[in-house]
Structure formats: structure tokens, C-alpha cells
Amino acid sequence: MRDSKTAFVYAALGAGAVVVAFPFYWMLASALKPLTEIYDLRLIPAHPTLANFTEVLTRTRFPRWFGNSLIVAAITTASVAFFDSLVGYVLAKLQFPGRGVIFVMILATLMIPTEMLVIPWYVMSSAYGWINTYWGIMFPGLLSAFGVFLIRQFMSGVPDELLDAGRMDGVTEFGLYWRIALPQIRPALAALCIFTFLGNWNAFLWPTIVIQTANMRTLPVGIALFSGEAGSAWNLIMASSALAVLPVLGVFAVLQRQIIEGITLTGLRS
């Protein structure tokens, strides 16, 4: 530790982390409590048990829900990573008529809550036979205006000189994006992947509407089954929520180094 100021920063971060992560801890602790103790509000479970986890993993279709969510989230994230970064690049780095209008138009799609779009999507899915299919669950999320906006902001920070240099070297238009610009904004791209994956992972309303059969359910839809008219099985909800968090933390762990230990502006990524 270099100086007292840094020590202070560590202390403050530590205290803040405790406060901020506390609810997450409580969720984990509750997941380890049997149903009869779930309301006793102890910080440390009196009789910790893995029964909730076993019940969720073996007596429900949790593995299936998990798998479905994984497929949908992975494909959607890949699609968003590619298309959104391409559009963001075009909007930030290429000059062409209508650029401003298109940007505003795409941005405008962020301003309509999904709740209102769900019924037209359902009508569309019904007409094209997408109901209860992976495509049906995925299609609204394959591109996102959020990603376009984020990437565009970061792309605007990429120096034009780099691109000009690339052009002089004979790099194709697509290559300028793929080989020169994209590596420059790796932190933003990594962030976008994390958020897209997470958003998809937790999506509830549209999947509920488009899914018909038990074997197509995604995680949020499945976890919702633990709630009913006669209340919620909080012990199972906490256990399944804790399990549901793992892949997201995994994605975060892998990608967060891209965000932080990003690259400097000298040199090109190969």
C-alpha cells in the first residue's frame, strides 16, 4: 500500500462492498435454510441444509430451464455483439446521408417499453409458427438499441487516423471495422456482452407469453413456478436464484478482465 489515501480507499471499498453485497449474502443464507426456518431472520442458518438445492436440481426441471436459458442467452449475446458493434461503428465512423436520422430512430426503439410490444410479437409469432420455439424466445433480443448506443459512443473515441491508416494499407471496409476498430473498443464490447447475457438470462414477460410447454421453459419462467396462489416457496426461490446467478458470474469473471485490463492505443490487435 502506497499511502494513507490508498489505505482509505481500500477501507471504504471494503465497507461499501459489505453493504452492497449483503442482500446477496442473505439470499445465499436463506437458500441454505429449511422451509421451517426461512423466516427466522438469522444471519447464519441455524440448521444449514442443501435440501433446497437438491430439490431444485432433482425434483424440478431446473436443468432443462438452465439449458434453455443458456442456449437463448448465448446466441442472443453473440448476435448482439456482432450486429450492434457493426451498426455502432457505422453510425460513429462513416459519413453518409441520413446518419443522424437512423441513429435517432434506433434510439427511439429504446423508448417503447417491451410490455407494449409483447402482444404484436405474439400475433406475429402465431402467424409464422414461432410459438414455443427457441427462435420465438430469442428473436426480439437479437439486436438491441442499447448496444448500438453504447458501441457508438465508444467508437466515436477511436481516432480516425487509425482508420485512415488502415484504408491506405488497403484494408476493406469490413476489415476496418473487424480488424481495426473493434479491437479498440474491447472494453465496451465486453461490457455489452455481459449486459446482454444478463438481460436475456433474467427476461420474464416475453418468454412467459411465447412458451407453451414445460420443456421449453427458461429459468425465470421456471422459477416463477415456485410462486402460486398459496404463496411462494421462498426457500426454493432463493436456492434456484443462487444457482441461476452462477453462469452470469462466470461470464462476468471471464469478460471483466477485458474491460479492465484493456489495451492501449498503440499498435493493432492481431
Subset of residues 78 to 97 that bind other proteins, contact rule: CB under 8 A: 83, 86-87, 90, 94-97
Place of cell 446477496: 24
Interacting residue with other proteins among 54, 128, 173, 215 (CB under 8 A): 173
Residue 171: strand, helix, or coil: coil
| 34 vs 67 by CB, closer to other proteins | 34
Q: Using CB under 8 A, which residues numbered 232 to 251 contact other proteins? A: 232, 234, 237-238, 241-242, 244-245, 248-249
The amino acid at residue 110 is L
CA distance 245 to 264: 32
Interacting residue with other proteins among 4, 44, 260, 270 (CB under 8 A): 260
Q: How many residues bind other proteins (CB under 8 A)?
A: 115
Q: Should residue 117 be labelled a site residue for other proteins when binding is judged by CB under 8 A?
A: yes
Question: Least distance in Å: CB of 98 to other proteins?
Answer: 9
Q: Using CB under 8 A, which residues numbered 21 to 50 contact other proteins? A: 21, 23-24, 26-27, 30, 35-36, 38-41
Cell digits of residue 97 = 446521408
H-only helix segments in the chain? 4-31, 51-59, 62-93, 99-108, 114-128, 134-138, 145-155, 160-168, 173-175, 182-184, 186-201, 205-210, 219-224, 234-260
Query: Per-residue x/- mask for other proteins, residues 118 to 157, rule CB under 8 A?
Result: xxxxxxxxx----x-------xx-xx-xx-xxx--xx-xx
Closest among 76, 77, 34, 80 to 53, alpha carbons compared: 34
CA distance 97 to 99: 6
From 47-55, 67-75, 170-178, give the range in contact with other proteins by CB under 8 A.
170-178
Interacting residue with other proteins among 48, 50, 63, 108 (CB under 8 A): 108
